[in-house]
Amino acid sequence: MVQLSGGVELLEIKRNETTGHSLRHLDGLEAESIHILREVAAELSRPAMLYSIGKDSSVMLRLAQKAFYPGKIPFTLLHIDTTYKFREMIEFRDRTCRELGLKLIVHTNYEAIAMGATPFRLGPSKCCALLKTKALLDALAENQIDAAIGGARRDEEKSRAKERIFSFRDNFGQWDPKNQRPELWNLYNGRIDKGQSVRVFPLSNWTELDVWEYIQQEEIPVVPLYFAREREVVVRGDKLIIPEHDSEQLASDRREVVRCRMRSLGCTHCSGAIRSEADSISGIVDELKTIRRSERENRLIDHDQEGSMEIKKQEGYF
Amino acid sequence: MSITAPATARSLLRFLTAGSVDDGKSTLIGRLLHDSGGLYEDELAALDKRSSVNGKKFDPSHVTDGLKAEREQGITIDVAYRYFATPRRKFIIADTPGHEQYTRNMITGASTAHVAVLLIDARKGLLLQTRRHVYIAWLLGLKSIIVALNKMDLVGFDREVFAKIRKDFLEFAAPLQFQEIQFIPMSALEGDNVISRSDQMPWYEGWPLLETLESIETHDDRGSKSFRFPVQTVIRSDQDFRGYAGQIASGTVEPDNEVLALPSGRRVTIDRLLNYTQDLLQAFAPMSVVISLKEHIDLGRGDMLCDPLHLPSQSKHFRATLIWMSATSMQVNEPYLIKHTTQNACMNVMKLLHKIDLNTLSKQAADTLHCNEIGEVEVETHKAIFCDPYTVNKTTGNFIVVHPVSNVTLAAGIISLPLLPEAEGPKVSPPLNGRARENQGLIVWITGLSGSGKTTICSAVHTELLARGIRVEVLDGDIVRKHLSRDLRFSKAERDENIRRIGFVAHLLMRNGVVVLVSAISPYRAVRDEIRENMGGFLEVFVNAPLELCERRDPKGLYKRARAGELRGFTGIDDPYEPPLSPEVECRTDREGEKESVEKVLAAILRTIHRNEAR
Ligand SMILES: Nc1nc2c(ncn2[C@@H]2O[C@H](COP(=O)(O)OP(=O)(O)O)[C@@H](O)[C@H]2O)c(=O)[nH]1
């Protein structure tokens, strides 16, 4: 960066000397995602950003700030709270929204919870269907949201590899993988009728490593659960579960203090921690360059049923 | 923004893989992901489990199983995107099925790819499929292709097999003029020449596939083209800031640059270029930025800022290639919607000129386009769009067609030629009012085989017109090729381009009252007609003599060379001549003398000039 007399900070020109003009990889991803966010804002009437508090949501939030700066982010944030999230996540969520002055809608399927929906009683699939999918569809309908912007990446999971950036959902919020709109160049077809909606994935082309390198480059705050420290966990096979909820269900299990961190965040009992020494962003970036296990391995919900993610997505899950 | 970390400096390569069923595409992708370390242990364990269940050794094609199973069941035939990285580069694979009925999927994958990897089964050699894949890669403007000659293990790693297919391939791809075609003999199953060099094929001196992909140049030249900035949305903040957000489609800008706003045609000056909290000294394609202007003007979504010296066409009428993607066939004059850059407008297809037979690449008359068919059309939009030909500028040269009721995406479009741009041009320069024209100007287009007598007639007519004090100019095909079109060869596309250039120059001259005599073989009817349609005064002169006679005359010895195989694609020998259907004048030089022919042409010219003057 160069400091000019007026005190204005000017970016070094991102030009590559030998090839003339070319954008660095992360800048290229950023430019694409910003373009997508602006397209949603311009072409749909009531978009909302699905804010799940994780690293991807944090990156998405920064991209949205950039896309509309110096104006305000022109959509609300929506969090589907299953009430089984980590306390640290909720604290982080409330702090972020307060500091950035963002409008946040929190939606919970209290009816199901009152009926005792937990993964232990219903199994993770059913629990997710009620507390996430149903809750999400209800929240979208209640708030008349016609575009839900999510932080899913195509590299996360097999069925996401085919997902469009603008993904059409019918009046029941369902995805029809056999009947997707072709998506060419950077032209996104977001036309819908009343009652239909689109899911928009501005981070489609990012990988897990890209996300962390961007967090590092932009100094984006993330939930401390991502950083390794000693934590008391329940060890189940090769899964480490941080017991915050349903302690009686986990009471019989062996507890251990393990140096670990979360690689992806979700509900406490369905997202496991990994053994790790990475206690900083640069530590995580280094760890990811050599890690040999996949990101969602520690998630229970993906393994629960063959092709489970695809089925969930058809039903309306994110 | 921090100083570049080494990992972020890695560039991105998006490539597309295409091949017919069973050529080994899944095996190859699995091999690439597996051997480059792109698979995680838990994924590998799942694969191992499968292999041991079947009592077989590792089969890389299982990696991409998800899609494969679907393909076998005939469902969800789609593009899947896969991600992997090496220390040198990051990659996005667009994995597309190769079958004829999935042309649209390949097009979708190719629309964002830098490079295409085309698989060929070494036992089968070039198939019609291959031809189609190459055509699509070319149509979508890919500059490089990599031909993966797979299953070399099944042909004994034979060098001759490789050489033969390579030669065949180069021969038919020659007219398409890719910047780079690389051939790699491999066995995806065994891993030969995928990640590491094969011991089985010491005769192959090139790189294995991965290294080729790592080092291929991506030619992002968007930043060096004329500036185009489609406005996405207007940004306002409390302190009366007003900025225009968008992604730069092409070119470079700096603060204080003068640009032109469309459609108003007003010249404005760039004030600030913003990327979040930072002001930029310069911004270039494909950056997403916010631009503020020194002047207050009315500008919104769908408008464009552009280079004031090199404007896009502002056209309501253009010619395009359409790739039809919907089960409902195309209908001429149906109301459709077009999405082009950030503009949405109503449109309709005025005319279907022809469709392309993807197996022979020939043009066919047609009255509709079905799903997966490609055709050349004329499109009319209800408001002007700001566009360039796709070959000049991909971003401003592409569009999609959307159905106004069902909202589905019906087709992808590639703009080949904006029509009548002048008539609808911006109000930048005032019309040259009051300047008297001496005469109206006219284009006399003399077409015919080499040796038919065009040059003779042309020069005689030239002399006659000069003698009458008429301003006249000659554009001779051979001379134009030595200068204006020096960069062009003789593929169909380049011949058409050559003719368009001649047409362009002729048009300029004609507008200034000159009678332009164009003498060029101009073998293709469509492009001649295209020029005719765009010009006010146009006389087509068909100099007609049978091929045998022209060949006997052979004034430049070209037929002889073509027959000997020294010249390829020579009109009349191995490239077609499409005679005009209704020329204003026809000179049968096999039956009539030179004088008779010249008089006929001259009379037609004088008649037209007088008629125009009388108006
Ligand atoms: N011998 C040999 N067989 C191959 C090679 N590549 C693929 N195959 C086999 O060809 C068949 C089809 O391969 P697959 O990858 O499924 O083809 P796709 O339909 O193009 O995805 C499978 O039985 C593969 O094992 C190769 O390089 N050598």
Kindly list the distances between the CA atom of residue A313 and the CA atoms of A173, A192, A275, B202, B241, in Å, as whole numbers in the listed order.
Answer: 10, 19, 30, 49, 41
Q: What are phi and psi of A105, to 5 degrees?
A: -110, 125
Alpha carbons A181 and B407: distance in angstroms, whole number: 9
Instruction: Quote the pTM value.
Output: 0.76
The reply to whether B221 touches chain A by the CB within 8 Å rule is yes
A 10 A CB-CB count for B51 gives 13
Q: With CA atoms as reference, report the closest residue to A297 among A161, A160, A157.
A: A157
The pLDDT, as a whole number, for residue A88 is 94
Rounded mean pLDDT, A190-201: 92
pLDDT band at A229 (very low <50, low <70, confident <90, very high): very high
Could you tell me if the CB of B150 is within 6 A of ligand 1? yes
* Distance from Cα A300 to the centre of ligand 1, integer Å: 34
Kindly list the distances between the CA atom of residue B165 and the CA atoms of B28, B120, B123, in Å, as whole numbers in the listed order.
Answer: 19, 9, 10
Chain B stretch 346-365, residues whose beta carbon is closer than 8 A to a beta carbon of chain A:
none
* Distance from Cα B122 to the centre of ligand 1, integer Å: 11
Instruction: Supply the residues of B annotated as catalytic.
Output: 522
Question: Model confidence over A277-315: pLDDT tens digits?
Answer: 999 999 999 999 888 777 766 665 554 444 556 666 666
Q: Encoding tokens for residue B606?
A: 């004088």
Alpha carbons B232 and B153: distance in angstroms, whole number: 53
Partner residue opposite B41 with nearest CB, options A180, A183, A293: A293
Range in A20-24, A251-255, B535-539 the model is least confident about: A20-24
Could you tell me if the CB of B418 is within 6 A of ligand 1? no
The pLDDT, as a whole number, for residue B51 is 63
Q: Which residues of A touch B281 (CB under 8 A)?
A: 10-11, 13
Q: What is the ipTM of this complex?
A: 0.88
Q: What are phi and psi of B463, to 5 degrees?
A: -60, -45
Alpha carbons B500 and B446: distance in angstroms, whole number: 15
* Distance from Cα B182 to the centre of ligand 1, integer Å: 21
* Residues in contact with B544: Cβ distance below 8 Å, sequence separation at least 6, in sequence order: B448, B452, B579, B586, B587, B588, B589, B590
Kindly tell me if the per-residue pLDDT of A65 is higher than 50: yes
Could you tell me if the CB of B25 is within 6 A of ligand 1? yes
**For B192, which DSSP code?**
B
The pLDDT, as a whole number, for residue A306 is 44
Contact A38 B278 (CB under 8 A): no
Q: Encoding tokens for residue B192?
A: 């030969």
* Residues in contact with B138: Cβ distance below 8 Å, sequence separation at least 6, in sequence order: B176, B178
Structural contact between residues B315 and B343, judged by C-beta atoms closer than 8 angstroms: no
Q: Encoding tokens for residue B478?
A: 């051979």
∠ Cα B395 B400 B405 (to 5°): 150
Could you tell me if the CB of B19 is within 6 A of ligand 1? yes
Largest pairwise CA distance in chain B: 92
Partner residue opposite A161 with nearest CB, options B40, B81, B245: B81
Report residues of chain B scoring pLDDT below 50: 1-8, 74-76, 420-438
Indicate which of A75, A184, A186 best probes the interface with B, i.e. most B CBs within 10 Å of its own CB: A184
Chain B stretch 19-48, residues whose beta carbon is closer than 8 A to a beta carbon of chain A:
40-43
Q: Encoding tokens for residue B389?
A: 């030909």
* Distance from Cα B290 to the centre of ligand 1, integer Å: 49
Helix (H/G/I), strand (E/B), else coil: B595 = helix
The pLDDT, as a whole number, for residue B199 is 92
Contact A189 B400 (CB under 8 A): yes
Could you tell me if the CB of B23 is within 6 A of ligand 1? yes
Q: Closest residue of A to B301, CA-based? A: A42
**How far does A20 lie from chain B, in Å, by closest CA?**
8
Q: Closest residue of B to A181, CA-based? A: B409
Q: Where are the beta strands (DSSP E) in B388-441?
A: 398-402, 409-418
Rounded mean pLDDT, A64-77: 95
The reply to whether B236 touches chain A by the CB within 8 Å rule is yes
Structural contact between residues A317 and A133, judged by C-beta atoms closer than 8 angstroms: yes
Structural contact between residues B385 and B338, judged by C-beta atoms closer than 8 angstroms: yes
Partner residue opposite B90 with nearest CB, options A25, A34, A185: A25
3-state secondary structure A80-112: ECCCCECHHHHHHHHHHHHHHCCCEEEECCHHH
Nearest CA to ligand 1 atom 9: B24
Contact A38 B243 (CB under 8 A): no
Contact B245 A38 (CB under 8 A): yes
Partner residue opposite B278 with nearest CB, options A10, A32, A180: A10
DSSP assignment string, B207-236: --HHHHHHH------GGGS--EEE--EEEE
Query: B252 has which bridge partners?
Result: B284
* Distance from Cα B73 to the centre of ligand 1, integer Å: 18
The pLDDT, as a whole number, for residue B4 is 31
Indicate which of B290, B338, B403, B414 best probes the interface with A, i.e. most A CBs within 10 Å of its own CB: B290
Could you tell me if the CB of B64 is within 6 A of ligand 1? no
Question: Model confidence over B1-57: pLDDT tens digits?
Answer: 333 333 335 688 999 998 887 888 888 998 898 888 777 777 777 767 666 655 556
Could you tell me if the CB of B99 is within 6 A of ligand 1? no
Structural contact between residues B446 and B519, judged by C-beta atoms closer than 8 angstroms: yes
Range in A20-34, A185-199, B65-79 the model is least confident about: B65-79
Alpha carbons B305 and B299: distance in angstroms, whole number: 9
Terminal-to-terminal C-alpha distance of chain A: 39
Partner residue opposite B11 with nearest CB, options A25, A34, A294: A25
The pLDDT, as a whole number, for residue A181 is 86
A 10 A CB-CB count for B579 gives 14
Beta strand A166-169 pairing with A197-200: antiparallel
Contact B92 A205 (CB under 8 A): yes
3-state secondary structure chain A: CEECCCCCEEECCCCECCCECCCCHHHHHHHHHHHHHHHHHHHCCCEEEECCCCHHHHHHHHHHHHHHCCCCCCCEEEEECCCCECHHHHHHHHHHHHHHCCCEEEECCHHHHHCCCCHHHHCHHHHHHHHHHHHHHHHHHHCCCCEEECCCCCCCCHHHHHCCCEEEECCCCCCCHHHCCCCECCECCCCCCCCCEEEECCCCCCCHHHHHHHHHHHCCCCCHHHCCEEEEEEEECCEEECCCCCHHHHCCCCEEEEEEEECCCCECCCECEEECCCCCHHHHHHHHHHCCCCHHHHEHHHHCCCCHHHHHHHHCCC
* Distance from Cα B94 to the centre of ligand 1, integer Å: 19
- Torsion, Cα A239 A242 A246 A252, to 10 degrees, reads 60
Q: Which atom of ligand 1 is nearest to the CA of B188?
A: 27
Alpha carbons B419 and B534: distance in angstroms, whole number: 7
A185: left (phi over 0), alpha (psi -120 to 50) or beta: left
Mean pLDDT of chain A: 84
Alpha carbons A137 and A141: distance in angstroms, whole number: 6
Rounded mean pLDDT, A58-72: 96
Residues in chain B: 615
A 10 A CB-CB count for B428 gives 12
Contact A192 B407 (CB under 8 A): yes
The pLDDT, as a whole number, for residue B7 is 38
